[in-house]
Chains A and B, each alone.
Chain A
Amino acid sequence: MPEPEAIAVEAAAAPAAEASSSAGPATSWRSRRRLAIGAVVILGLLAPLVVQNFTIFQLTMVMIYGLAILGLNLLTGFNGQFSLGHSAFYGIGAYTTAILMSQNIAYYWTLPGAGVVCLVVGVLFGLPALRLQGLYLALATFALAVAMPQLLKSHLLEALTGGVQGIVIDKPDPPPGVPFNADQWLYYFTLAVVLVMFAGAASLVRSRTGRAIMAIRDHPTAAAAMGINTALYKTLTFGVSALYTGVAGALGAIVVQFVAPDSFSFFLSISFLVGLVVGGVGSIPGSLFGGVFVLFVPNIAERVSTGLSGAIYGVILLLVIFIMPTGAAGVLRRAGGWLTDAWRFLETQSKGRRTS
């Protein structure tokens, strides 16, 4: 497990590439990137009109896991703090929504509630985490993940959480007059939330604050020397990261219509970590790819062999790490680089021919 500097080195590749893309020669790459994002959004808007309800549900879950992984990415990828505890924030978000909804509060109002609760918990947890680094931080967050199901089951909270039985939620209906079924509606609702939050993360990362957050990751001592309040930014990043994952949990609860302590074991944290790495540490769109991996790859593994599905999953994961050690985002960046190079090569070739 990484020391902070180590994370810094690996994650530095991502934003560095993003930053360089804005500089000079590759402006066309940047506009193409915008084009790609636009295409994905349009595909996302059209998808539920052509696929089955079940697939819509899967795609909704992909977005939700992607959002949860984005939360982890903000903390680990951009700020260099390692966390194995994000299943806890996901669970807190989910339970907040479930409890509020069982009090007859409309589902859309529960999202800000879940976000705020997780922000507060995240900041509170981020404070002691300031003292810890690398492995020790990993253990502290891991402790949170291990403790969460126990806490949710505890008789102290049973009146609120429903104890081991969990809470069943009713599926929200689309607003009257909207020509969608419940699955389509939830999909578009999730899409809207996810788009806003991804855009928010992108602008946060590009802002002054974002540069401070990344500076802390790359060189904590230097950042402090330059007058960045590292404690403040680290704690805040913890809170915002928890907020993102918590909102994902809230959406997950609404879509799955059920919360139970065992849904939020530390295995979920490990799934998020896998999604983070496979998608690309420090890549915002990569988080979504992580969501795709987390949801679909176990199904593929299961199709290959029922008894050995875990082994098949592991083999696929190993292959992915071998083929793309920096995740999908790294591959895309490299592919993008080749394409740009190839494009430029062709351009110069054709120009050369014209001039000759």
Chain B
Amino acid sequence: MQLLLQQVVAGIATGAIYAMMALGVVMIYLAIDHLNFAQGEMATFSTFLAWQMIQWGWPYWAAFVATVAISFVGGIGVERILFRPIRNAPILSQVVAFIALFSILNSSDGEIWNFTIKSFPTPFGTKPLFCIGLVSTHQAGMVAVTVVILALLYLFFRGSRLGLAMRAAAANPESARLVGIRVGWMVALGWGLSTAIGAVAGMLIAPVVFLDPNMMVGVLIYGFAGAILGGMSSPGGAVIGGFMVGVIENLAGTFIPYVGQELKLTVALVVIVAVLMVRPAGIFGRVSVSRV
């Protein structure tokens, strides 16, 4: 029983990583209606920038704010320079462009900052929380930041004109254009926001998993899984999905005899696919109906 509790708590702590990533995944999905395979690598790149600034002697928060700002602008830049020209290309071609971006960033990270792991500072400290070793203050801080970002996004999308315009642009570009929304810039803004969220995610994940060029490859797999389990159209669902993936994985690894750790990722994925059988658009997602 104690082990169960420990694994659940540890799963939530790890799930915070996936939840952060899943949030970024949903963000870009809401803006461009599909996934960005290069998202993890973009976040890694941002985190390396922050690391570099800290190496230069910048205070943590200065580096943090600068990185988020650079990432926001950079995300818009990537959209304008790389993806705007091919926005009318078939979607699979765009997916391949994401793969190209992935490859470029991953390889450049390694060449610029090499492959040895780097520790990344945390603003929350690394002491165990409440003196039990299960969760560190940093992991608790991550959960808190995830919830705060989620709340901000909620307010932004429900409450602000800009947020509403963005949602309209993504959901129905034609009509949005007719009512005077500059759809192109809304898409760019979505890129900027998701890249900025990715940067925050990267800087919070790096203290846990250590910074290296391949830091996000595994995390992104779980982030996708979390986002899809929760429902791509629901930021809150994605966050809960991320936490669930963390917990499911730990429980599968610990309590399923015989296959256990060796197949825990497989088991977690099977569980997710099974859930999708019952809820084909994720737990909190809405099924979109297509018309003839």
Q: When each residue 73-112 of chain B gets 1 if its CB lies under 8 Å from chain A and 0 otherwise, what string results? A: 0000000001001101111111111011111101110110
Beta-carbon nearest neighbor of B98 in chain A: A1
Q: How far is it, in angstroms, between the C-alpha of A254 and the C-alpha of B19 when the chains are bound?
A: 43
Does A314 make an interface contact (CB < 8 A)? yes
Beta-carbon nearest neighbor of B29 in chain A: A135
Q: A132-B276, A132-B280, A315-B100 are in contact. Are A307 and B111 (CB under 8 A)?
A: yes
Residue of B92, B225, B270 near A281 (CB, 8 A) is B92
Does B247 make an interface contact (CB < 8 A)? no
Q: When each residue 1-33 of chain A gets 1 if its CB lies under 8 Å from chain B and 0 otherwise, what string results? A: 111111101110000000000000000000000
Tally chain B residues at the interface, Cβ within 8 Å: 52
Does A202 make an interface contact (CB < 8 A)? no
A221 near B292: Cβ-Cβ < 8 Å: yes
B221 near A317: Cβ-Cβ < 8 Å: no
Minimum CB–CB distance for B170 against chain A, Å: 13
Q: A128-B273, A308-B108, A308-B111 are in contact. Are A222 and B292 (CB under 8 A)?
A: yes
Q: How far is it, in angstroms, between the C-alpha of A3 and the C-alpha of B96 when the chains are bound?
A: 16
Beta-carbon nearest neighbor of A143 in chain B: B269
Q: A140-B273, A150-B266, A308-B108 are in contact. Are A221 and B91 (CB under 8 A)?
A: no
Task: Find the residue from A140, A276, A281 having the highest chain B CB count within 10 A.
Answer: A140
Write out the residue numbers on chain A whose beta carbons fall within 8 Å of the beta carbon of B85.
322
Q: How far is it, in angstroms, between the C-alpha of A220 and the C-alpha of B35 when the chains are bound?
A: 23
Minimum CB–CB distance for A220 against chain B, Å: 8
Write out the residue numbers on chain B whose beta carbons fall within 8 Å of the beta carbon of A276.
92
Minimum CB–CB distance for A5 against chain B, Å: 6
Interface segment among B140-148, B191-199, B257-265: the answer is B257-265
Minimum CB–CB distance for B89 against chain A, Å: 3
Residue of A135, A139, A318 near B97 (CB, 8 A) is A318
Q: How far is it, in angstroms, between the C-alpha of A220 and the C-alpha of B292 when the chains are bound?
A: 8
Beta-carbon nearest neighbor of A13 in chain B: B90
Write out the residue numbers on chain A whose beta carbons fall within 8 Å of the beta carbon of B269.
143, 146-147
- The contact sample of 12 A-B pairs, CB cut-off 8 A, is A2-B95, A133-B280, A139-B273, A139-B276, A147-B263, A147-B265, A274-B99, A308-B108, A312-B107, A314-B99, A325-B86, A327-B93
Seen from chain A, the residues whose Cβ lies within 8 Å of a Cβ on chain B are: 1-7, 9-11, 76, 128, 131-133, 135-136, 138-140, 142-143, 146-147, 150-151, 153-156, 219-222, 225, 270, 273-274, 276-278, 281, 307-315, 317-318, 321-322, 325-327
Enumerate the 3 nearest inter-chain pairs by beta-carbon distance, A residue then B residue, closest first. A310-B107, A10-B90, A325-B89
Seen from chain B, the residues whose Cβ lies within 8 Å of a Cβ on chain A are: 29, 33-35, 82, 85-86, 88-97, 99-104, 106-108, 110-111, 221, 224-225, 228, 232, 258-259, 262-263, 265-266, 269-270, 272-273, 276-277, 280-282, 288, 290-292
